[in-house]
Amino acid sequence: NAGVTQTPKFQVLKTGQSMTLQCAQDMNHEYMSWYRQDPGMGLRLIHYSVGAGITDQGEVPNGYNVSRSTTEDFPLRLLSAAPSQTSVYFCASSYMAGFTGELFFGEGSRLTVL
Amino acid sequence: AQSVTQLDSQVPVFEEAPVELRCNYSSSVSVYLFWYVQYPNQGLQLLLKYLSGSTLVKGINGFEAEFNKSQTSFHLRKPSVHISDTAEYFCAVRAYSGAGSYQLTFGKGTKLSVIP
């Protein structure tokens, strides 16, 4: 039972480089989201999707792009990495957008931007 | 917009002692509240949730929380903690984000350290 799988687990980038954080879930969840976690800041929502072809911005979307071509996958793209994007990124999914259930989290991707 | 405030960033407690982690939420007509736990180097997992009904909610690992509408609080409690409870705990509220969809808004977290 894989659940939510994130790759890579660790990544070091130089300022200005681009990269994609991958997220896949095998639970047929409609809702998928990306959060970033920074010390003392809790988790902040970057982007989310309520189904294939539908995405929307969260609290901190600047510098990030997402797309949702399939139910299973929800990649997060950093267009031009900046040191301020150094963080731990979590992908989370839920079977419905109403959240009467729960969010299922991946194990996180730790990104360092030099 | 809905929000939650966790009143303590760090809580040290001795093993087998009781603990309370405090959470206050912004008022709304209806509110769904959650507590999540994050063990070191892991993702978050649901501890318990309040949707409606009984104001005392029981979760996993012996934790419980009480929804108090008049105080706009949702404090997490455990009568006797173990070393394995050392983790960061996040309070969260469901917020309406438009077009019939919702999102979870998290507090800044409380680090619980259990001292042997």
Chosen for mutation from A37, A57, A99 (greatest number of chain B CBs closer than 10 Å) is A99
Comparing CA positions, the residue from B42, B20, B16 lying closest to residue B112 is: B20
Chosen for mutation from A103, A104, A110 (greatest number of chain B CBs closer than 10 Å) is A103
**Is B43 close to A102, i.e. CB distance below 8 A?**
no
The pLDDT, as a whole number, for residue A2 is 78
Distance of CA B102 to the CA centre of its chain: 19
Which residues from B are below 8 Å from A31, CB to CB?
101
Comparing CA positions, the residue from A62, A71, A69, A75 lying closest to residue A34 is: A75
Distance of CA A17 to the CA centre of its chain: 18
- Please list the residues that pair with A20 across neighbouring strands: A77
Q: b/e per residue, A16-52, with b = 16+ CB within 10 A?
A: eeeeebebbbeeebbbbbbbbbeeeebbbbbbbbbeb
Per-residue pLDDT of chain A (114 residues; tens, 9 = 90+): 679 999 999 999 999 999 999 999 999 999 999 999 999 899 999 999 988 999 999 999 999 999 999 999 999 999 999 999 999 999 999 987 566 768 999 999 999 999
Looking at the partner chain, which of B36, B102, B109 has a beta carbon nearest the beta carbon of A99? Answer: B102
Strands across the sheet containing A76-78 = A4-7, A19-25, A76-78, A64-66
In this prediction, the residues of chain B whose per-residue pLDDT falls under 70 are 27-29
